[in-house]
Structure 1
Amino acid sequence: MTSSPMSHVLMVSIPAWGHLRPLCVLAARLVSERDNVLITFLTPPNMFQKSRSEIDRQFGSGSPAIKRIRLLSISQFTDPKDLMAVFGLLVQAYPGAYETLAQGKSITCSTTGTSFDPAPAPVVVILDFFLLESLKATRALSGRSVPIISWITGSASSFIRFWGPESRGGMGDLPGKIDAEVARTNKSPVEVGEKLLKHANGSVVKLPGLPPMYDYEFHPQKLAFEIPMSMILIAAHEFLADSDGIMIASADAYERESLDAVRAWFGEMQKPVYVVGPLLPAGYAAQSDVNEWNANIADFLSNMLEKHGRRSVLFISFGTVFWPATPEYVEELIEALLEKNVPFILAHASPFARISAELSDKVKASGLGMLTPWSPQQFILNHPATGWFLTHGGHGGVTESLGSGIPLICWPFDADQPAAAAHVSQNLKAGFELIEVRTGLGLNPVYRLGGEVPKGNREAVGAEIRRVLDACRGPEGEELRRNAERLKGEFAAAWEEGGPAKATLRGFLEKYV
């Protein structure tokens, strides 16, 4: 470590735990690397305590570095299930908070009432690239004197797909395409944008680091909700164009070819790319995040370990938002697990999740499964009873699973998930991808299967799930587990002395701090 004048870094994420959690780890890495780094970390009120706990667990008892992370909320509490309201309040409160920090004044946390002493103005801002209005507010006060680094938590391959140039397999100038179509048709930007985003004519998409896929395979599920994603993508396009570089929570061990393509793309714009993943807690596989709120889960896992042995439990989670729009497919999954005598934990945190009382009673009576509205994911993945993770394939969950040496069964819906499922199953050979669960646009020919079309019915879903469960317990499953274990080691090595993530972080500090 070095001693020099204090350098202030501002870090802000959207109110989504998949974006906030790795940022907590990054904050800890920054202050641990240099003793002249002071961080102001803005978190929404509904996630304040989770963020506090996540930051605290990165440090040993009595560590002085933790005092240089000033965690605070700047907005008022609202219904945490109303994500757009939480997001809106953060955006509204940001300009005033940034002005306070830029002027070196004291600032007060809206959640705890804690007042933080005046500090030097921020020298760099790490800002979630979905916060366009916050970028504009920063530029309005500081111009280009304060660098703004885009915070990106998805995979590099999906980042290229949605924001990259067409020459690299991306969608190209989506804002320009929408403007042209609006002028031609006089339709609303939202209507035009959603049509263009989901436009599929069966063309083959070739992204760096991914196997070829038909365009509609990036949207393999009919969703249980509707969000105007095209407008979000447009705002992120503008953010990226105005930012000074990107920081991405991915790892070369996971997707080097895709990351090299991102480096080349941003290199053409003379903007740096900081690859700082995987952002897992130090000593990740040896740690747990279990607490008094999930003692029942710990007891269940211990019981299954005793009855069924190591690596016997299937953990199932579709994250906090996604859930199958076909509840009968979830029922079929549970039926198959009970039939095959596979112990499982099913987390149903999504507000769109529906579990019938009859099914819940059946699971409880079996003594083989556990249904829970919330789960300590990292704890479960690192428990010796856990053997597989059935997931939608979000980047954070994939990283945590492979960082634990746990192979995956992917059931992707949209966003970065289809790319992850293809990469994990086809390139890394560290998991399976379920194909028969596809709905909507997903019921079209599958490129990697030579044009085979999913049948789109419960019977086919059940047959595929049972086939995969059998494979998990056989030689193929063991091969996938060995590959996941290898990636676990490579992930850990990224943050060892001389590792690529640690070297990249030091490069960032040298440039800005």
Structure 2
Amino acid sequence: MGDPKNAPHVVLASTPIWSHFRTMCILAARLAAERPIVVTVLVPHWAKTFDLVNAETERFLRDIPNPRGTLRIIALGSHSLAREPIEILTTGDTAFPAVWDALCSGREVECSATHKIHEPAAVPAVIVLDMFLYAWHPTLRKVSPDVPLLWYNSGTAAGIGYLVHPGGRYGDSAASLGPEDPDRSPEFTGRVVKLPGLPAMHDWEFVPQRLEGFDNIKFENVIARSLYASDGIASSCALAFDGEEAVSALSSVAAERGKPAFHLGPLLPFQDGTTKFSRAALEAEIATAPPGIAATIQDFLDKHRDAKGACSVVYICFGTHYWPENNLEHLWALLDTLTDRDIPFILSHASPKAQIPDDVRKRYADSVAGLLVPWSPQQTVLTHEAIGWFVTHGGAGGTMDALTQGIPLIGWPAFGDQPSNIAYLTHTADVAFELVEVRTGEHGLKPLRASGKTPKGTVEAFREELQVLLDDMAGDVGARKRENARKRQAELQKAWSAGGPARVAFDNFVQHYKL
């Protein structure tokens, strides 16, 4: 590539929460691999996110011997180890204005993590901004009113619909949200909500857990406000995962305002035309695991594959942040029930909130039935033929990881887009079961419209639910859901092939912004 000051320039930025940043890393790496441009990734400097961004982009680029562009990863602000969600989400906010002014004024920019000085580049042709970074909008509009701002959705189309579509969280007035509006705390009255891609649901079904010290409503307002203040949409949604109805509805939010939408998923380090990770990509993921963990997991899975066959192990993971602290007895009951039914499992407990009682640790310390690990290389785990089911909170990243490998799911949703995701996967895509008796709190214990069930929320009721669930998993219903998951996998393989929906969207994106 020639002089970076004369090359097209695209900027991408996300909150430092890894589930939001991960797919954006692959988009940035692909842009740098395929286009003779400068790609700048701005990383709020929280915890290990800067290192993770470098590692994830490298996972994609290590199979590209000669990238056409230049990738620059720049940390913003002082390093933070904040634990509270609001502090994590605002990391980098104070540093951003000066950095953006420099990027738009042809000046050097310093990375706050490495102190490397990055040379001037052209004024950005577009910025792709995570949905939570609404606080950055005033700076963007003031300093660079002519630079298009795309709202980036790392979630699913159906999952985000409740928060942004008319008829969802804000009734028919989602598009009217403005920065001057007070945070809206809607009452949950049992109103029936019917949104694209989802079954009809009561409004309270979107609040399945009691969450203490977490201002979910405030965060959801930010998502809707930032969407309607943006110049278009970029997303990691995939037609074969999200479905035509939900993807088209999300696109229409932009189209109704004359704005473009680009759905670029799946954004994973696959070989094009497949849902296969290269050996190098898996080795890079394994390298991030604590010492000995990957080998222990591999040995556990190999032994159960050899002893019990394919699809014999249940993988349990709630992501890197969430932990079901309000109903841990349900989790221990799940482990006990799986053990009683001679079903091996892996529990990955990466959340800082995850505290495993000594008696539970001792029970499985030398057990061949279950493996408890503080972190797992999830994509590597899900490629193993021994994995049969994935118990998940319903985050977009984990559910995409699973379906690209043809793995059906068991949903334990908590907040945000997770209840919508699990409802979509259970009732529309028919690739999942939903756990009902894990619901907690005032709204979680109210009736569910699609199933007709009213949760009791007790451990005893949960144990009864598990017996029925495990029978269904092993029977015709489970076989149907597994077959549907494999059909989704087959369709997802085509996404980045020539003429595939992700490839077409990517080509439209680079043409639209002359990258």
TM-aligned CA distance change 1:249 to 1:239, over 3 Å: same
Deviation at 1:240, TM superposition (A): 2.1
Instruction: Determine if contact 1:312/1:385 at 8 Å carries over to the other structure.
Output: yes
Residue 467 (structure 1) aligns with:
468
Instruction: Determine if contact 1:102/1:121 at 8 Å carries over to the other structure.
Output: yes
Deviation at 1:264, TM superposition (A): 2.4
Structure 1 residue identity aligned to 2:462: V
Residue 138 (structure 2) aligns with:
136
Residue 185 (structure 1) aligns with:
none
Deviation at 1:278, TM superposition (A): 1.5
Q: TM-score when scaled to structure 1?
A: 0.91
Deviation at 1:230, TM superposition (A): 2.4
- Residues of 1 paired with 2:130 and 2:173: CA distance? 21
1:271 maps to 2:247: no
Structure 1 residue identity aligned to 2:38: L
TM-aligned CA distance change 1:506 to 1:205, over 3 Å: same
Q: How many correspondences in the alignment?
A: 496
Structure 1 residue identity aligned to 2:197: G
Deviation at 1:487, TM superposition (A): 0.6
1:436 maps to 2:424: no
Instruction: Determine if contact 1:208/1:258 at 8 Å carries over to the other structure.
Output: yes
TM-aligned CA distance change 1:356 to 1:10, over 3 Å: same
Residue 374 (structure 1) aligns with:
375
- Residues of 1 paired with 2:174 and 2:198: CA distance? 22
Deviation at 1:62, TM superposition (A): 6.2
Residue from 282, 285, 290 that aligns with 2:286: 290
Counterparts of 1:83-232 in structure 2 under 5 Å? 83-143=85-145, 145-166=146-167, 171-173=171-173, 189=182, 193-194=184-185, 196=186, 199-223=187-211, 225-232=212-219
Which structure has greater helix proportion? 1
Instruction: Determine if contact 1:251/1:501 at 8 Å carries over to the other structure.
Output: yes
- Residues of 2 paired with 1:126 and 1:68: CA distance? 17
Instruction: Determine if contact 1:56/1:66 at 8 Å carries over to the other structure.
Output: no
SS of the aligned residue for 2:376 comes to coil
Question: Percent of aligned positions with the same letter in both sequences?
Answer: 35
Counterparts of 1:247-396 in structure 2 under 5 Å? 247-254=234-241, 255-283=243-271, 284-287=275-278, 288=282, 289-291=285-287, 293=290, 294-295=293-294, 296-324=296-324, 325-396=326-397
Instruction: Determine if contact 1:274/1:505 at 8 Å carries over to the other structure.
Output: yes
Post-superposition CA distance 1:4-57 (Å, at most 9, x none): 9511001000011111100011112222332x2210111233211111111111
Deviation at 1:61, TM superposition (A): 4.8
TM-aligned CA distance change 1:265 to 1:162, over 3 Å: same
Deviation at 1:410, TM superposition (A): 0.7
Instruction: Determine if contact 1:74/1:90 at 8 Å carries over to the other structure.
Output: yes
Instruction: Determine if contact 2:34/2:68 at 8 Å carries over to the other structure.
Output: no
Structure 1 residue identity aligned to 2:333: E
Structure 2 stretches lacking a partner, 5+ long: none
- Residues of 1 paired with 2:63 and 2:194: CA distance? 49
Instruction: Determine if contact 2:408/2:482 at 8 Å carries over to the other structure.
Output: yes
TM-aligned CA distance change 1:438 to 1:82, over 3 Å: closer
Instruction: Determine if contact 2:34/2:67 at 8 Å carries over to the other structure.
Output: no
- Residues of 2 paired with 1:437 and 1:87: CA distance? 28
Instruction: Determine if contact 2:104/2:124 at 8 Å carries over to the other structure.
Output: yes
Deviation at 1:67, TM superposition (A): 6.1
TM-aligned CA distance change 1:85 to 1:446, over 3 Å: closer
TM-aligned CA distance change 1:66 to 1:216, over 3 Å: farther
Deviation at 1:382, TM superposition (A): 1.0
Residue 40 (structure 2) aligns with:
40
Instruction: Determine if contact 1:443/1:456 at 8 Å carries over to the other structure.
Output: yes
Instruction: Determine if contact 1:15/1:83 at 8 Å carries over to the other structure.
Output: no
Post-superposition CA distance 1:316-369 (Å, at most 9, x none): 011122222111101110110110111111112223333211011112232221
Higher relative contact order (CA 8 A, sep 6+): 2
Structure 1 residue identity aligned to 2:405: S
Instruction: Determine if contact 2:34/2:69 at 8 Å carries over to the other structure.
Output: no
SS of the aligned residue for 1:388 comes to strand
SS of the aligned residue for 1:345 comes to strand
